[in-house]
Structure 1
Amino acid sequence: MTEAGPTEAGAPTGKAARELLAQAERLLDTARAVRADHARAVEAVHTALAPLLDSLIRRELSAIPVSRLKDVTEGRLRLGAVEQAGFTNVGQVHEANRYELRQIPGVGAQTADQALAAAGQIAHAVRDTVAVRIEVDTPDDSTTALVTALHRLVEAGPDVRRAVDAAVRLIGTLEPLLTAAGPARGRLRMLFARRPARAEALAAVASVRTVVAEAVARELLLLFGQVSVDLLREPESDVTAWVDFELRSAEYYSLLAELSGTGPDRAAAEGFLPTGIADRVRGLRLDDAHLRVSLRGYQSFGARFALAQKRVILGDEMGLGKTVQAIAALAHLSARGETHFLVVCPASVLINWAREVRARSTLRALPVHGPERQGAFTEWRESGGVALTTFDALHTLPAARDCGMTPGMLVVDEAHYVKNPATRRSRAVSGWTQRTERVLFLTGTPMENRVEEFRSLVRHLQPELAPSIHTTHGAAGSHAFRKAVAPAYLRRNQQDVLTELPALVQVDESVEFSEGDLDAYREAVGAGHFMRMRRAAYARPATSAKLHRLLELVAEAADNSLKVVVFSYFREVLLTVEHALGEGAFGPLAGSLPAARRQEIIDDFAAVEGHAVLLSQIQAGGVGLNMQAASVVIICEPQIKPTMEHQAVARAHRMGQIRTVRVHRLLAADSVDERMLNILARKERLFDLYARRSAVAETTPDAVDVSDGALARRIVEEEQLRLATGADGTVAAAPEN
């Protein structure tokens, strides 16, 4: 007679039940382990953070006069004797103890207790306002300990949050079920248990089976095990942690803000939305199962705003990650069963969208443009994924009414492109917005001073809201405007939400060669001219994809009143940019200019109120000049010497800079740009980046860079082979210096 066998309730009994419960115990143990490992990792951050915060708080309190203690007690506290005893600031009182204060003549127990309590209240308030800044250039033992502790959690990635959340839910579910299922662990226990206890045990076993089956389907055991390993793994060295911090500093600061509770003001991070809308957005839980990136708090809120309000404009200032917020919304919908998404954007950013979707999520990105766009569209319609198309291509594709399916969400990047309803691109977008339930418009252009333009965009999304938007709302200021348009608009500014981020954000802007660009590039490759290959993207300005993207970035910076520095190795490229920008650009700075004249140009640039553009050769702007008036840096092409690029960026990203610096490096896909980056990336990353911070690297760039000639010759040969040029046996010209 076997022990196993189903009951009337369908629950396993005997040996089958015991095996199931043992499996559940193992699952529960791994869940408890990952929760404990995470708790230890978090505690290590708090331990490293505490002395840094204490130091900041002491510094702040030492600057507050002791008389401010009266304000806390509404004037009831008598401090004359305390002040006469030499206590001049709140910090001194806060660090004193009750016995020490009572030794002061005229200070009794009540006064001492009130003074300490008041100092404690002020210290608590200060604690909520200070934020730790991690200085890469001046690391010490305390900040190294913090970076190392954060490194463990950052390196473990977004799986940590999913694993811990799943572990907490599993523990809460399994623990009471296993307790209730106790009698089912043995035949005798079930035999002598009362009937209600047996029934409860069998019901619990049935529930355990369901929970275990779900955990197996979600591969939680594997997830818990991998995350525990990641959380227990020590960094190879302190240098490794510091290098990783440089590469992913935004993730470190985001995690630090989350764990320390010193993030941005919540109202600002939520775009000063009315309470009702903000509460509804907060109530939506973002499913990040298909995301490959950890979101900052304000980014998570932005994605949830798009999901909760369904048809909205996300108008965050440039540099806040509108693209990743859109991808997070798509990933959430994908996790909930949606299969098709459509992104419409300018041609200049389509390749970036493809790379961001693939890098930031598990979603399938499918470019739908160029001569094969009809076939790609058909493939998307049949197989799903994120279709990426351009404004100019959209009207050539089947209309939404003829598509036979509806996207889970339509995203329109640079949405101000459809402000004029009479244009062909606006009509094409409108056809899709009318048939799609969820629509997200992205634009970095502030709308407060463009009320008519905003009203036009809202007509695509929430036409019933458009008539209630008046020009007086914009004239009344940003807060009044945002309150009026809150159901359809969310905008956050850098100064409001980047308090937890470092002052440098770097973005690679990949573009595809236009036909004219490709012709110029082929000519340069065929001639074997390395330097001409590097500047070929600007050889034909009328059709230059890089120049077009550069002008878009400058225009967006102008809309946000930000100053821009444009760097190139080539004076010829800078003159092309200057001509395209028209009058008003400063420079270009060049090595032939006397140092005094160069500084004069920079001073004039800094003195301009609001937006301005400065052009500079990278070798001239990279040494001895301070450009911290600029918060947007555009690098026209990658540099052979990475240190040259680093030094140039450091001219803007240095002490005195009060805004986040956003660096855009323009890269042409499948070109010398990518070949250079791939070769340079193969160098020993730790040594390269560690040396980059050293005094030797600052003064001797050649110390950590590869040979110009060797790099040039190798790239020319590879490109000639790839483009099938020079294949007739002729010897290509020597690379130009």
Structure 2
Amino acid sequence: MTEAGPAQAGAPTGRSARELLERAERLLGTARAVLTDHAGAVDAVRAALNPLLDGLVRRELSAIPVSRLKDVTEGRLRLGAVEQAGFTTVGQVHEANRYELRQISGVGAQTADQALAAAGQIAHAVRDTVAVRIDVDAPDEATTALVNALHRLVEAGPDVRRAVDAAGRLIARLEPLAVAAGPARGRLRLLFGGREARARALTAAVSVRDEVDEAAARGLPLLFGQVSADLLREADTGLAAWVDFELRSAEYYSLIAELSGSGPDRDAAEGFIPAGIADRVRGLRLDDAHLRVSLRGYQSFGARFALAQKRVILGDEMGLGKTVQAIAALAHLAAHGETHFLVVCPASVLINWAREVRARSTLRALPVHGPERHGAFAEWRESGGVAVTTFDALHTLPDPRDCGVRPGMLVVDEAHYVKNPETRRSRAVSGWTGRTERVLFLTGTPMENRVEEFRSLVRHLQPELAPSVHTTHGAAGSQAFRRAVAPAYLRRNQEDVLTELPALVQVDEWEQFSEEDLAAYREAVDAGQFMRMRRAAYARPGTSAKLDRLRELVAETAENGLKVVVFSYFGEVLRTVGQALEGEVFGPLAGSVPAARRQDIVDGFAAADGHAVLLSQIQAGGTGLNLQAASVVILCEPQIKPTMEHQAVARAHRMGQIRTVRVHRLLATDSVDERMLDILARKERLFDLYARRSDIAETTPDAVDVSDGSLARRIVEEEQRRLASRAADPANSAEASSPAGTADAVDTTGPATGAG
């Protein structure tokens, strides 16, 4: 045998080659199984989805007059005989067959074929426009079958897409290599195969080994096995699937849009940017190895836009997931070797950012704020991850020119905070943008309404673009503006990309007590008063962290012309909120307001032109009123009766709602809010939601409740111990330890009007 070349040195032969190729075949088998199992799960969804789509198409076609068939054939089709025979709609023609139409006097083969072809064209066009709506309040056999089929794919999570993509690529590379390496199984086959064949086999064997080793290093065998197991798992009961659908309906609708081809218009989903830029963005493949969430099509495009254009503003309307798009861009860069990322945001959303990074990706989040910010910054500089800091803290951190770290991407949330170049926060951000290749600004404010503000922001990113942006671009309309500034700006609206409207998007807004908040909270804990603890976050309005975040949310909805309903259990909290807000504020609705007057308030709120705010006690607004005018719901505190919270949200998220309903629940870390949620989370989720969906729950809303004295007392005592309060002193803890029901023992009820 001749000496092997450099590429063949150490190539496996004989037994080692056989063992290697057996490993390769096992790996290929698991990869093929993933594709087969995924195809089976997709087929099951389509089998459930197609009848629903067919029904929607039939309904639409039944309303289209048969004369429209002439439009498709540009007037060449003669339909007089068809109409005289009783065919009055396109649907009737589409349901007929060639033989039936030929039986009509005066209809020949050509007319019958043309009529059927025209009806088919219209049906195809209609199918592209219809969208399945799933009504959780009226499930039937067909929608339950669809939800069950989707549940399997949703439960398997984003690993499915990752595994399918990886399996396809692996099979395409490894299969031909394994075939080419076959002769290396036996030394005699190599010896008599000729020099060129021998060289090809040995080179292929080396490549097979490299592919198998790389797959093992990436954990692909485990990934393929786990995904196949998830896709083959026995379907849960209809109840479990419906429960899951309520919790994450967006993921179900995203799959429906993908598999039915009924997603949003591509131009709208891509923000009406010019074709050249759109093509470049589409050509970038997003690496989701570090993501823990499935992206919708427009979200993937947004993340790729940020990566392809490098220095941009993502201006999607609120509710479309700007944060997760930013995290997807960071995760992609991390998969390609970047280690350090920096997020700058208002203090009110810092905790949310840290939580979202950890929940949506495998990236490490490090809050860099407060007294320990310099130590946290040093840790980030040393170990990497996503540093999350505030506008006010940024200027106190080491100068970006001296810190020795160049972030893979800088993300600036609520970017309008830096619109004034003279402010300290703007200068601090500018220092980092000048040192960072990739910068992503996030803002929900429509920039076409604020052209000068846009110019100010774009100077941080693409200074050469700023002089070419004129107020006339904004005056020309949103689409014209977006095309003009496309190199640096992407915005999509809910109505353009969420074809399954209305959906329900729920966001927990975690805030950290200010010092004054904490003082008020400690006083309530020391007094052992549960309900006072729940409203302590609003006791000092001038420094209330929750109130600051509420104002920010309302301001963003005002910019987008949306209506908001603010719920609280407490009338006192609603009065505080009302005094803190500007603009048109209706209410508050309360139990003490007569029913007729309550309806007048709701009618006035609905009739208001554009943005408006309605304040309501959750007991008064949770039943009997329809609040479809509101597409944003803010809950000032978590509710002690989950059914009460559900019923209140359902006032806005119901038949007649034409927009996605976004629910923001304001929560304080290390407080009664967190204790309450912990207790509720420990309960069996299926039991909770089954009770909520049952007839019993409608008449017994206390079925799942933390308002009974023992649980409230437990929360108070836990908080007293945690804060090392007067609970340690028996003389001062009488209130907290007294039995529920005694005078102001553990105050769990609050007055019906919420005045206390």
Indicate the TM-score class for this superposition, using the shorter chain for normalisation.
over 0.9
249 and 291 in structure 1: CA distance in 2 versus 1, 3 angstrom threshold? same
How far 1:318 sits from its partner (Å)? 0.5
For the residue of structure 2 that corresponds to 1:343, the secondary structure is: strand
CA distance in 2, matches of 1:144, 1:28: 35
| Contact in 2 for aligned 1:455/1:469 (Cα 8 Å) | yes
Residue in 2 aligned with 1:521?
521
CA distance in 2, matches of 1:421, 1:536: 37
| Contact in 2 for aligned 1:345/1:391 (Cα 8 Å) | yes
| Contact in 2 for aligned 1:262/1:500 (Cα 8 Å) | no
CA distance in 2, matches of 1:699, 1:657: 26
CA distance in 1, matches of 2:559, 2:274: 26
Q: Which amino acid aligns with 2:746?
A: P
For the residue of structure 2 that corresponds to 1:401, the secondary structure is: coil
Structure 1 residue 9 and structure 2 residue 9: aligned? yes
| Contact in 2 for aligned 1:180/1:201 (Cα 8 Å) | yes
Q: Which amino acid aligns with 1:261?
A: G
How far 1:501 sits from its partner (Å)? 5.7
Residue in 1 aligned with 2:83?
83
Superimposed CA distance per residue, residues 156-187 of structure 1 (whole angstroms, 9 cap, x where no aligned partner): 11111111111111111121112222222234
| Contact in 1 for aligned 2:8/2:206 (Cα 8 Å) | no
Q: Aligned runs of 1:467-486 on 2, under 5 Å?
A: 467-486=467-486
Residue in 2 aligned with 1:366?
366
Residue in 2 aligned with 1:410?
410
Q: Which amino acid aligns with 2:36?
A: A
For the residue of structure 2 that corresponds to 1:448, the secondary structure is: helix
Q: Aligned runs of 1:311-390 on 2, under 5 Å?
A: 311-390=311-390
732, 746, 755: which one aligns with 1:735: 746
Q: Aligned runs of 1:220-299 on 2, under 5 Å?
A: 220-299=220-299
| Contact in 2 for aligned 1:570/1:617 (Cα 8 Å) | yes
How far 1:235 sits from its partner (Å)? 3.0
Structure 1 residue 638 and structure 2 residue 641: aligned? no
60 and 7 in structure 1: CA distance in 2 versus 1, 3 angstrom threshold? closer
Structure 1 residue 108 and structure 2 residue 119: aligned? no
Residue in 2 aligned with 1:133?
133
Superimposed CA distance per residue, residues 389-428 of structure 1 (whole angstroms, 9 cap, x where no aligned partner): 0011111111111111211111100000000111111111
Structure 1 residue 674 and structure 2 residue 685: aligned? no
How far 1:696 sits from its partner (Å)? 2.9
Residue in 2 aligned with 1:701?
701
| Contact in 1 for aligned 2:502/2:657 (Cα 8 Å) | no
Structure 1 residue 557 and structure 2 residue 557: aligned? yes
CA distance in 2, matches of 1:472, 1:394: 35
How far 1:27 sits from its partner (Å)? 0.7
| % same residue | 84
Structure 1 unaligned residues grouped into runs of 5+: 1-5
| Contact in 2 for aligned 1:629/1:657 (Cα 8 Å) | yes
519 and 706 in structure 1: CA distance in 2 versus 1, 3 angstrom threshold? closer
373 and 53 in structure 1: CA distance in 2 versus 1, 3 angstrom threshold? same
Q: Aligned runs of 1:593-672 on 2, under 5 Å?
A: 593-672=593-672
CA distance in 1, matches of 2:111, 2:695: 54
| Contact in 2 for aligned 1:633/1:649 (Cα 8 Å) | yes
CA distance in 1, matches of 2:612, 2:274: 35
| Contact in 2 for aligned 1:330/1:409 (Cα 8 Å) | yes
8 and 173 in structure 1: CA distance in 2 versus 1, 3 angstrom threshold? closer
How far 1:7 sits from its partner (Å)? 9.7
How far 1:193 sits from its partner (Å)? 2.8
98 and 415 in structure 1: CA distance in 2 versus 1, 3 angstrom threshold? same
For the residue of structure 2 that corresponds to 1:421, the secondary structure is: coil
Superimposed CA distance per residue, residues 537-579 of structure 1 (whole angstroms, 9 cap, x where no aligned partner): 0000000000000000000000000000000000000000011
TM-score normalised by L of structure 1: 0.98
For the residue of structure 2 that corresponds to 1:633, the secondary structure is: strand
Superimposed CA distance per residue, residues 476-525 of structure 1 (whole angstroms, 9 cap, x where no aligned partner): 11111111111110000000011146521110000000000000000000
| Contact in 2 for aligned 1:419/1:453 (Cα 8 Å) | yes
CA distance in 2, matches of 1:158, 1:87: 48
For the residue of structure 2 that corresponds to 1:614, the secondary structure is: strand
Q: Which amino acid aligns with 2:407?
A: P
| Contact in 1 for aligned 2:148/2:236 (Cα 8 Å) | no
Structure 1 residue 489 and structure 2 residue 515: aligned? no
| Contact in 1 for aligned 2:502/2:658 (Cα 8 Å) | no
Q: Which amino acid aligns with 1:36?
A: T
How far 1:706 sits from its partner (Å)? 4.5
Structure 1 residue 47 and structure 2 residue 58: aligned? no
Superimposed CA distance per residue, residues 227-280 of structure 1 (whole angstroms, 9 cap, x where no aligned partner): 111111123311111111111111111112111111100000000001111111
Q: Which amino acid aligns with 2:276?
A: G
How far 1:81 sits from its partner (Å)? 1.1
How far 1:711 sits from its partner (Å)? 2.2
CA distance in 2, matches of 1:591, 1:709: 24
How far 1:191 sits from its partner (Å)? 4.0
Q: Aligned runs of 1:444-463 on 2, under 5 Å?
A: 444-463=444-463
CA distance in 2, matches of 1:543, 1:517: 7
| Contact in 2 for aligned 1:688/1:704 (Cα 8 Å) | yes
CA distance in 1, matches of 2:309, 2:418: 21
CA distance in 2, matches of 1:43, 1:192: 48
**Comparing 107-116 with 661-670, which one deviates more in the overlay?**
107-116
Superimposed CA distance per residue, residues 435-491 of structure 1 (whole angstroms, 9 cap, x where no aligned partner): 111111000011111111111001111111111111111111111111111111000
490 and 8 in structure 1: CA distance in 2 versus 1, 3 angstrom threshold? closer
Q: Which amino acid aligns with 1:9?
A: A
| Contact in 2 for aligned 1:289/1:335 (Cα 8 Å) | yes
CA distance in 2, matches of 1:392, 1:275: 40
How far 1:686 sits from its partner (Å)? 0.6
**Comparing 254-263 with 694-703, which one deviates more in the overlay?**
694-703
**Comparing 460-469 with 496-505, which one deviates more in the overlay?**
496-505
How far 1:707 sits from its partner (Å)? 4.7
Q: Which amino acid aligns with 1:350?
A: L
Q: Which amino acid aligns with 1:104?
A: I
For the residue of structure 2 that corresponds to 1:344, the secondary structure is: strand
CA distance in 1, matches of 2:660, 2:552: 19
CA distance in 2, matches of 1:663, 1:724: 34
Residue in 2 aligned with 1:3?
none
How far 1:695 sits from its partner (Å)? 3.1
| Contact in 2 for aligned 1:249/1:501 (Cα 8 Å) | no
Q: Which amino acid aligns with 1:373?
A: R
CA distance in 1, matches of 2:696, 2:471: 57
For the residue of structure 1 that corresponds to 2:312, the secondary structure is: strand
For the residue of structure 2 that corresponds to 1:78, the secondary structure is: coil
TM-score normalised by L of structure 2: 0.95
Residue in 2 aligned with 1:466?
466
CA distance in 2, matches of 1:213, 1:130: 47
CA distance in 1, matches of 2:48, 2:501: 19
106 and 230 in structure 1: CA distance in 2 versus 1, 3 angstrom threshold? same
Q: Which amino acid aligns with 2:687?
A: F
Give the root-mean-square deviation of aligned CA atoms: 1.5
Superimposed CA distance per residue, residues 97-122 of structure 1 (whole angstroms, 9 cap, x where no aligned partner): 11111111111111111111110110
CA distance in 2, matches of 1:664, 1:597: 27
**Comparing 417-426 with 188-197, which one deviates more in the overlay?**
188-197
How far 1:611 sits from its partner (Å)? 0.1
CA distance in 1, matches of 2:195, 2:435: 59
CA distance in 1, matches of 2:681, 2:372: 33
For the residue of structure 2 that corresponds to 1:236, the secondary structure is: coil
For the residue of structure 1 that corresponds to 2:663, the secondary structure is: strand
**Comparing 181-190 with 90-99, which one deviates more in the overlay?**
181-190
| Contact in 2 for aligned 1:618/1:645 (Cα 8 Å) | yes
Aligned residues: 734
How far 1:583 sits from its partner (Å)? 5.7
Residue in 1 aligned with 2:310?
310
| Contact in 2 for aligned 1:622/1:645 (Cα 8 Å) | yes
Residue in 1 aligned with 2:3?
none
